[in-house]
Amino acid sequence: MYGGPRSGLAAVSTALLAMSRRLEVRDVLRTIVASARELLDAEYAALGVPDDHGGFAQFVVDGITEEQWRRIGPLPRQHGILAAMLHQDGPERLADVREDPRFEGWPPGHPDMSDFLGVPVRDGEETLGALFLANKQGARGFTDEDEDLLGLLAQHAAIALTNARLYERSRELTIAEERSRLAHELHDAVSQKLFSLRLTAQAASALVDRDPARAKGELQEVAALAAEAADELRAAVTELRPAALDEDGLVATLRNHVRVLDRAHTARVTFTCDGVRALPATQEEALLRVAQEALHNALRHSGADLVEVTLARRGTGAALRVADDGKGFVPSAVRRAGRHLGLVSMRDRASGVGGRLTVHSEPGTGTTIEMEVPGG
């Protein structure tokens, strides 16, 4: 099955090291599931982390396409075999899960599964999740050896998951402190801008009747101050990692963002994803931020009728492409004019995660912004 004891040990060692190196809970879950499915040669693998309301806070699968997952619908509830694994200490091995009296059927769109092997992931008395495999490849069901190996993986998964949770709690404290600092800075900076804006608006109002020319100049100053305040607000807000990334991942977060923009703007905004898997958290955040900045520019400045967002797999990494059919620009002229359209921050975000960013634009031909990250 594993190509001999030496190659089998190497494969297990690689999987355990991969688990221990992940610091984000979602990355740990995905690594556990992918490692279990590969090592035990199963068609499907999944790991569910229960919540306190009879459902699952997180449910990660491997072997199911994104389209299949979308057709299956909402996350499962804690019932049937899943509930049994969450409330028992040992493994559950079935020749055909469909014949077990606890089996309650598949939801529409769910792939058919037969042989089944599952174990609880436990930290002492606490059940952290349920890890299970289905449809052993090239053999008649799972073996005693498979059961032992999955039990070993579950033990190390509990350690890796506990460590990741501790790391995230520590990071949450750091984020809370950083948010407090940003709130103070934001209050000081934007408050000053708004105070100046209010005074300037009052002056313009007083000048409207007796000196329209000066009033016009004051109103232009109002517009400039408002733009600066908006830029400072946006700059501060974009420093905070969006919660949706932790909950839903990059693909779902970006798809939802595009869907909202498509409804809010007259331009058509589309999203296409091709085979992208989970990436390191820092890379996912950088891709999302660049996509948001590029979309902001396209929808506010380009006059585009169509903006297309594409996310595609590139080896172990991914490539983002945001293309519009707007008026375009000369990148060098934008730099000389001191208006970067966020290009500097986008390049910084790309290089900060080991990626690269390219910008293609000419007047009358639209703009394409591409970013690649290496994965992990």
SS (H, E, C) 195-236: HHHHHHHHHHHHHCCCCHHHHHHHHHHHHHHHHHHHHHHHHH
pLDDT for the residue 270: 95
Q: Can you tell me the mean pLDDT for 185-212?
A: 70
Query: Can you tell me the distance from the alpha carbon of 164 to that of 14, in angstroms, rounded to the nearest whole number?
Result: 18
Distances (CA, A) of 189 to 194, 221, 236: 9, 17, 10
pLDDT of residue 268: 92
- Specify the range with the lowest mean pLDDT, choosing from 108-117, 147-156, 256-265, 284-293: 256-265
pLDDT at 110: 84
Mean pLDDT of 269-298: 90
Which residues face 58 on adjacent strands? 49
Tally of CA atoms within 13 A in the half-sphere of 53 that contains its CB: 4
DSSP track, 258-317: HHHHHHHSSSEEEEEEES-----HHHHHHHHHHHHHHHHHHHHHS--SEEEEEEEEETTE
SS3 state of residue 51: coil
Q: Quick one: pLDDT at residue 322?
A: 96
Residue 308: what pLDDT?
Answer: 96
| Range with the largest mean pLDDT of 143-147, 332-336, 337-341 | 143-147
The confidence band for 7, taking pLDDT boundaries of 50, 70 and 90, is very low
> Mean pLDDT over residues 196-222, rounded?
75
pLDDT of residue 186: 60
The pLDDT confidence band at residue 242, using thresholds 50, 70 and 90, is low
Q: Which amino acid is at 359?
A: V
Maximal CA-CA distance, the chain: 93
Name which residue leads in pLDDT, 202 or 276.
Answer: 276
**Global confidence as pTM:** 0.47
Spatial contact of 96 and 114, defined as CB atoms under 8 Å apart: yes
Tens-place pLDDT, residues 213-241 = 887 777 777 777 777 766 666 555 555 55
Q: What does the pLDDT read at residue 269?
A: 92
Q: Which helix (H) or strand (E) holds 45?
A: strand 42-50
Q: List CB contacts of 110: < 8 A, sequence separation 6 or more.
A: 72
State mean pLDDT over 78-82.
Answer: 80
pLDDT at 24 over 80: no
- What pLDDT shows up at residue 10? 66
* Beta strand 268-274 pairing with 306-314: parallel
Give the other-Cβ count within 10 Å of 61's Cβ. Answer: 17
Is pLDDT of 115 > 70?
Answer: yes
Maximum mean pLDDT: which of 59-68, 107-116, 303-312: 303-312
Report whether 227 contacts 339 (CB < 8 A). Answer: no
| 185 has a pLDDT exceeding 80 | no
pLDDT at 58 over 70: yes
From the list 366, 229, 350, the residue with the least C-alpha distance to 293 is: 350
- Evaluate whether 337 touches 299 at the Cβ level (below 8 Å): no
Model pLDDT, residue 324: 95
